[in-house]
Structure 1
């Protein structure tokens, strides 16, 4: 429960920190409504739409309402998919407003003891330190390889957890051993003539739990003619912090990454995770008020490019790509499409694979319900969105669902498992599928 003193402080900071011009930019036209998954799945509740949330923020700024639990609930229910932004005639930067509002609330309310412990452990003690991420992931690997996972499943212990979490545990990738995670490259030469010199943002979860996808990405870059630098001093992108009301920690991580990649002196900085890429490309906004970092952040952001975008630029889709006969469909990463503006390139690459049939999914640009950790903290709404998504997936009759973000990948795997389709369908990251298609 937020106290009166906390509410007053939150309101004061809303008035001083929220961009009122941006709030006034919203014309209340409603173009955002059909694009918002929480508005649709909540039964068209205005408070769960982008327009409604902006109205709530403006009402707090104007002093018409208190920043109470209902306001916080509305903001927390948002996936942050930013599908509202491309359709907004006024160009409202909704994602920036949402992150600022969440930060103000989280920094000025007293969390429960358990929430404080969890937030401190995750945001300050785990994600900023890649070695700790490796240690945690290696424990998961031991659990998977030792036979303990089979024992837990047979014992029925997973029934104690919510269905979505129990199913998620089942679809987690087989993670590498700690020794493999420690033995990571820092520089790779191109295969053939050098076309570009790039730096690779390896990420935290991507270079541990999804390390094989990172390896596939780097191999694809080499085949495309890229010299690759992988800065050892890079850090977590800060997306989890920025989306969860820990903006100062996100800024600290951004500065670490800017320094790490400045030293690389490359043509592009390549990502293979839509969520990470969208936050990285927004560093110029995150640090816009810092005179020492603003220009450096802008230079960093201008070099960001998704793996699919550089592959198309280097004509990878014109290579001989082949897979066995199958129907392929693509689920957009919201952040890759809506923030990084990358949508046609993944499709061009997939459509170039001989032997396959590409089938465009209805509403492929709508969110799958993953939203970082949204499918854990807002499981009920996430599963409603996923169930709707799986209805459109089944219409394609696809054998392979392709994604471009680890959260989306796990969510689609979860959907396949929930629908009982694991013997008929698979979900795969685009980098892994392309490497499979090129025959390496």
Structure 2
């Protein structure tokens, strides 16, 4: 990787005007988790923008240090709503990561990992299903119990041992319902197309089913296009721009075959990336307009439930419990959804809702960040769990699979699994319906 080639790519692909939009005012600092944790400007949004500008101007020789700073960024985009100048930090971050990835020699170990995950599993839903089926076999066959008894996981880092403890139970393939159409239980108010996601449709299959049932109860006919694939978020966040572009085109084609009022998501990270397809393909003459039309239809399931007066028409009740909510960063910061989930939670009888301090700050999951940057991720998580503790909540609600696993991990790290649970909003709402 040469600084000259990186500088040229930055000049061609990252707008100087966009970089100059940053006024260095510092409003982003208290919103940025990595700056809060380190108090280091290198790990703040305005600091990273300054580094990008310096690379673009050819003022930095050791560009690897800039790449390290960008990799420590969670990509939560909390700086964007805090920015008075409206700087599109997230778009610049992903373009910069793509440039670094394209211009460096990737180590063999990393190349193999990327090939196995991003370019194989996440590019082919059937392979993702097979992989999660193996996880299900591991859980049900006795291998998991044997592995724990023999302390095999002791060979792995602590946070990975704890993660193994909180993985959801995988639904057997024969128990999955693969229908493409789920009719409304009442008078049809809208026809929606469900984006099922890769992990959501395998590891979190039951949550997808909960979402569909809630939409049916709210008056939605739900259609699930069978040719859709991964949203491409993990590719985009990891510098694999071509992979995310290919997946975007696949999904646009899949949903163009369905006449739907909205495209529904129940994972904040996926929803935000789908919402940004218009930007991702803005320079592609054949796809730019189609991508923007697709993006314009993206709606989070919580928003449509509120819009269709679900809480007014459904009697929601659970056993008495204290509930708090952890925002999905991308759902809040990119899609602008924060009030709908809270309104739905507070409509449930016997729920005492307690707002968590700084619920809008990242939990440290950020896709695969807890694997690539485990120390910073666990530091952020441990501080997040201190905020949870102030609410005395027995139930933590999230709206994203990565956040859900991260909060489960936080509960495990605090040895609170007997007292506290973490659930997806869709699962809590369906529980309240019954």
Range into which the TM-score falls when normalised by the shorter chain: over 0.9
Q: Secondary structure at 2:350's aligned position in 1?
A: strand
How far 1:331 sits from its partner (Å)?
0.2
Choose the corresponding residue for 2:154, options 152, 159, 165: 159
Distance 2:225 2:174 in 1: 19
How far 1:12 sits from its partner (Å)?
1.2
TM-score normalised according to structure 1 size: 0.97
Partner of 1:27: 23
Choose the corresponding residue for 2:343, options 326, 342, 348: 348
Choose the corresponding residue for 1:304, options 298, 307, 314: 298
Kindly tell me: are residues 299 and 131 of structure 1, through their superposed partners in 2, closer, same or farther at Cα, counting changes over 3 Å? same
Bigger Cα displacement from structure 2, 314-323 vs 208-217: 314-323
Choose the corresponding residue for 2:393, options 392, 395, 398: 398
Choose the corresponding residue for 2:420, options 419, 425, 435: 425
How far 1:389 sits from its partner (Å)?
0.3
The reply on whether 1:369 has 2:375 as its aligned counterpart is no
What per-residue deviation string (whole Å, max 9, x for no partner) do you get for residues 87-138 of structure 1?
Answer: 1000000000000000000011001111111112212111010000000000
* Mapping of residues 235-250 of structure 1, within 5 Å: 235-250=229-244
- Uncovered stretches (5+) of structure 2, i.e. residues with no partner: none
Distance 1:73 1:124 in 2: 23
Distance 2:192 2:61 in 1: 49
TM-score normalised according to structure 2 size: 0.99
How far 1:69 sits from its partner (Å)?
1.8
The reply on whether 1:196 has 2:205 as its aligned counterpart is no
How far 1:67 sits from its partner (Å)?
5.2
How many residues in Structure 1 have an aligned counterpart in Structure 2? 433
Partner of 2:322: 327
Choose the corresponding residue for 1:168, options 163, 175, 180: 163
RMSD: 0.8
Partner of 1:225: 219
Partner of 1:62: 57
Distance 1:409 1:186 in 2: 27
Distance 2:62 2:12 in 1: 14
Partner of 1:268: 262
**Which consecutive segments of 4 or more residues in structure 1 shift more than 3 A?**
none
How far 1:40 sits from its partner (Å)?
1.2
What per-residue deviation string (whole Å, max 9, x for no partner) do you get for residues 71-97 of structure 1?
Answer: 111000000000000010000000000
What per-residue deviation string (whole Å, max 9, x for no partner) do you get for residues 306-337 of structure 1?
Answer: 01000000011212111111100000000000
Choose the corresponding residue for 1:389, options 368, 384, 393: 384
Distance 1:206 1:136 in 2: 14
Partner of 2:288: 294
Distance 1:125 1:329 in 2: 37
How far 1:66 sits from its partner (Å)?
2.5
The reply on whether 1:122 has 2:122 as its aligned counterpart is no
Partner of 2:87: 92
Q: Secondary structure at 2:306's aligned position in 1?
A: helix
What per-residue deviation string (whole Å, max 9, x for no partner) do you get for residues 153-194 of structure 1?
Answer: 11111111110001001100000123335x412111100110
- Uncovered stretches (5+) of structure 1, i.e. residues with no partner: none
Distance 2:261 2:79 in 1: 31
How far 1:358 sits from its partner (Å)?
0.5
What per-residue deviation string (whole Å, max 9, x for no partner) do you get for residues 271-326 of structure 1?
Answer: 00000000000000000001111111111111000010000000112121111111
Q: Secondary structure at 2:258's aligned position in 1?
A: coil
The reply on whether 1:148 has 2:143 as its aligned counterpart is yes
Q: Confirm or deny: 8 A CA contact 1:11 1:67 kept in the other structure.
A: no
Choose the corresponding residue for 1:73, options 68, 72, 77: 68
Choose the corresponding residue for 2:34, options 25, 38, 51: 38
Distance 2:350 2:55 in 1: 56
How far 1:391 sits from its partner (Å)?
0.3
